[in-house]
A and B are shown apart, each in its own frame.
Chain A
Amino acid sequence: MRLAIENVRIIDPSQNLDKISNLYITRGRIFSISDTLPDGFNASQTLDGTGKWLLPGLIDLQARLAEPGSHYEGDIASETKAAVAGGITAICCPPDTRPVNDNQAVTELIQRRARQAATAFILPIGAITQNLEGKMLSNMAALKNAGCIALSQANQPIQNPLTLKNAMQYAASNDILLMLRCEDAALKNKGVAHSGVISSRLGLAEITASAETVALARDLILAEETGVRVHFSQISTAKSVEMIADAKKRGLPVTCDVAIHQLHLTEYDTLDFDSLFHVSPPLRRHEDKEALRLGVKMGTIDAIVSDHTPLDRDVKLLPFGESQPGISGLETLLPLTLKLVEEGVFDLNTAIRSLTTGPANILGIQNGSLTTGLFADFSVFEPEAYWTLSRSEMISQGDNSPFDGWEFNGQVELTYFQGRPVYRNNPI
């Protein structure tokens, strides 16, 4: 099959490209981007992309696919459908599955289920320690060889500094990327909300910014000492941005990401105890949100992630502190990121880069690009489509989105994965 998409605005930060042109695809791969029909290319299908955008398939560094796990919360098939509806074609899934992805068998199960679903590229992240307990190392090299793109502790950071240091040294000697959430369990204590003006008013158990930054400081020092490649996941405070900017300036091989909801929401959103706003790390101050936005703009923050956590209704239908943290975010990653472009927070190139080449460079993969020869993973985006998010219409099995009722400009119309259409909203 030879596909031509003509007269479309192609945005590809990996090639510094933003122009109206044509995209040619053959045998599932990018043939070329060219203003004229390449010699010898006979399109079997031609689509008119006038007025639309063509984006590389997005990469999400953190999305839970609920498999293996409770099928009430979805599975790889249901969640990858949600992903491609949001233009995401490559997904890193953290190891906090049930059972934990701390051995090859689980990694292989995830890969097999991903191949069956065949709607998006799944990159499993293995557990650094057995059962994520932070004590005994898992077979890290075996996990890497089985196809884990990186290793992490999901939301259960290693608390013992010696164990962490050992894990870092071992990872460094096997050239394994570690993705770390920074959270000091003792400082977090039983906290459920940011320690700020709202928690003071509502009497919610508090999580200070230092619960993150103390752990980050420790991790940065140990990363420097061991020379391991570290990516910091879902940073949430202004101070963290500053510390990582400083580490990068000193030449440390560190990168970081932020969850998209942290760029839109603050502690004030928890004012009426709505458990849909219960996330980990917690929603912080307005100043933190501004610093995180600036961090993306200045390139200190390398990627924006969904931190997708589809949850069963039961675990959210509880008082705030008893509810499970997490947002079903795959379908809103791109719309919420583009909303920031509309608001003038950063430009379109930065936005798309944070969702494509940014994460690709962290992982050392080629996805998220429309370079000739790569798999044709892309989406066609209609910038003039106005729509309102409704929880009841979400594709993900988890409808736990606090963005219900938010209005968005622009929508993914069509997503291709490896040259095949995997999502279609309105046929173009």
Chain B
Amino acid sequence: MRLSTPNLQLNAQGKLRHFLTLEGLKHHHLMEILEVANTFIDPVTHQISKVPNLHGKTIMNLFFEPSTRTLTTFEIAEKRLSADVVNLNIATSSTKKGETLLDTLWNLQAMMADVFVVRHSESGAAHFIAKHVAPHVHVINAGDGQHAHPTQAMLDMFTIHKHKGDIFDLKVAIIGDIQHSRVVRSQIQALSILEAREIRVIGPKTLMPSHPQALGIHVYDNIEEGLEDVDVIINVRLQNERMKSALLPSEKEFFNLYGLTKQRLNYAKPDAIVMHPGPINRGVEIDSAVADGEQSVILEQVTYGIAVRMAVMTIIIENAKQLMAGSLSSALQEETP
């Protein structure tokens, strides 16, 4: 099987150069992100303080698709790392022609950008950009089409890790629109790399991937069966478009069949946690009583998102420095007989 994606995002030392997807990454890559993220959170106050890690670096947030939450957390993370931040909201319509998209990138690159944080409505857009940028520029995927949203998935792993410790041995159930969700694709990949015991997805077949076996997941049509004995429940936002394209009859029917209620929560382990990458549709995929309940960790996820994004950017910049130092020292060694 061809797997050129990991080659694209790893440098010669096998370390992260870009962060495009979790597919193809190793256990240690993910653990490093979780560990570094943890160092940014004050153990007592749970606050994130400012550090000089990316001082002098320019980060450009290229959002070809509108976003407020992801853009905001990236921006906060970048500022806490002391980077210079430029936000660019680029309407996709003005970049329909490839020349323009690449010209835009090359122009921004010439303005001494070190990192592009990219969000785009096409699956594979971050890969495309990573393939065409200069060697010194790093690309971080902030969501591409229905493909991947790796920083979101890593913050979810961080949250699970905080509450449950080692992800190994956990049973995780993801409820809702799996097929159209880049977040879920990345979550599934993260969970399988971290060797979760079982990854279940719950929902009607219209919202399931056509080939779930390719993702190593178990599909449940019935929510009660799917929640039986799980440690972690992840709820996914249901988009309005799904009703328009006849994938579902109505929000009401979805809630009746798959909405996460107090009663259904009882099927999971008593200490199971409830997560949601947001924004929440109360009364559509989750009952308010559960969203705001004891087992919910939804708001924590937002704070951790900043730490995880700081970790990813720090690691990528550090790896580049090490690679540079490595090639310098080997060049020096070659010169001295």
Residues of chain A having any CB pair with chain B under 8 Å: 195-206, 208, 268-269, 271-273, 275, 313-323
Q: Is the CB of A319 within 8 A of B2?
A: no
Q: Is the CB of B185 within 8 A of A203?
A: yes
| Further pairs besides A201-B214, A321-B124: 12, Cβ < 8 Å | A197-B213, A200-B214, A200-B215, A202-B147, A203-B185, A204-B145, A204-B147, A273-B123, A316-B98, A318-B98, A318-B128, A320-B122
Could you write out 19 A-B pairs with CB less than 8 Å apart? A195-B211, A197-B211, A197-B214, A199-B210, A202-B124, A203-B145, A203-B148, A268-B1, A269-B2, A271-B3, A272-B4, A314-B97, A314-B98, A318-B98, A319-B125, A319-B144, A321-B122, A322-B98, A322-B122
Give the contacts of B208-238 with A (CB-CB under 8 A): 209-215
Least CB distance from B239 to A in Å reads: 14
A271-B3, A314-B97, A314-B98 known; A319 vs B214 contact (CB < 8 Å): no
How many residues on chain B are close to A (CB under 8 Å)?
35
| Chain A-chain B contacts (Cβ-Cβ < 8 Å), number | 93
Q: Which residues of A contact B212 (CB under 8 A)?
A: 200
Give the contacts of B1-20 with A (CB-CB under 8 A): 1-5, 8
A314-B98, A319-B123 known; A195 vs B210 contact (CB < 8 Å): yes
* Residue of chain A at shortest CB distance from B211: A200
Distance between Cα atoms of A19 and B29 in the complex (Å): 62
Q: Which residues of A contact B144 (CB under 8 A)?
A: 319
Q: Is the CB of A208 within 8 A of B147?
A: no
Other-chain residue from B1, B2, B123 in contact with A203 (beta carbon distance below 8 A): B123
Q: Is the CB of B101 within 8 A of A318?
A: yes
Other-chain residue from A317, A318, A321 in contact with B123 (beta carbon distance below 8 A): A321
Distance between Cα atoms of A322 and B208 in the complex (Å): 24
Distance between Cα atoms of A248 and B123 in the complex (Å): 41
Distance between Cα atoms of A14 and B102 in the complex (Å): 51
Task: Say whether B99 faces chain A, with CB atoms less than 8 Å apart.
Answer: yes
Q: Which residues of A contact B214 (CB under 8 A)?
A: 196-198, 200-201
Q: Is the CB of B147 within 8 A of A203?
A: yes
Q: Is the CB of A205 within 8 A of B146?
A: yes
A197-B211, A203-B185, A321-B123 known; A272 vs B8 contact (CB < 8 Å): yes
Other-chain residue from B128, B132, B211, B215 in contact with A273 (beta carbon distance below 8 A): B128
Task: Say whether B287 faces chain A, with CB atoms less than 8 Å apart.
Answer: no
* Residue of chain A at shortest CB distance from B3: A271
Distance between Cα atoms of A381 and B2 in the complex (Å): 33
Q: Which residues of B contact A317 (CB under 8 A)?
A: 98-99, 101-102, 132
Distance between Cα atoms of A206 and B247 in the complex (Å): 15
A273-B123, A320-B123, A322-B122 known; A200 vs B210 contact (CB < 8 Å): yes
Q: Which residues of B contact A322 (CB under 8 A)?
A: 96, 98, 122
Task: Say whether B80 faces chain A, with CB atoms less than 8 Å apart.
Answer: no
How would residues 135 to 151 of chain B score, 1 for a CB under 8 Å from any chain A CB and 0 otherwise? 00000000011111000
Q: Which residues of B contact A199 (CB under 8 A)?
A: 210-211
Q: Which 10 A-B pairs have the closest CB atoms?
A: A273-B124, A203-B146, A197-B214, A317-B98, A203-B147, A319-B122, A200-B209, A200-B211, A319-B125, A318-B98
Distance between Cα atoms of A320 and B144 in the complex (Å): 12
* Residue of chain A at shortest CB distance from B102: A317
Distance between Cα atoms of A198 and B213 in the complex (Å): 11
Q: Which residues of A contact B128 (CB under 8 A)?
A: 273, 275, 318-320
Other-chain residue from A201, A313, A319, A323 in contact with B215 (beta carbon distance below 8 A): A201
Task: Say whether B182 faces chain A, with CB atoms less than 8 Å apart.
Answer: yes
* Residue of chain A at shortest CB distance from B245: A189
Distance between Cα atoms of A410 and B97 in the complex (Å): 39
Task: Say whether B84 faces chain A, with CB atoms less than 8 Å apart.
Answer: no
* Residue of chain A at shortest CB distance from B180: A203
Q: Is the CB of A271 within 8 A of B210?
A: no
Q: Which residues of A contact B147 (CB under 8 A)?
A: 202-204
Least CB distance from A374 to B in Å reads: 45
Task: Say whether B171 faces chain A, with CB atoms less than 8 Å apart.
Answer: no
* Residue of chain B at shortest CB distance from A195: B210
Q: Is the CB of A321 within 8 A of B145?
A: yes
* Residue of chain A at shortest CB distance from B178: A200
Other-chain residue from A271, A272, A314, A321 in contact with B99 (beta carbon distance below 8 A): A314
Q: Which residues of B contact A318 (CB under 8 A)?
A: 98, 101, 128
Q: Is the CB of A315 within 8 A of B98?
A: yes
Q: Which residues of A contact B120 (CB under 8 A)?
A: 319
Distance between Cα atoms of A201 and B182 in the complex (Å): 10
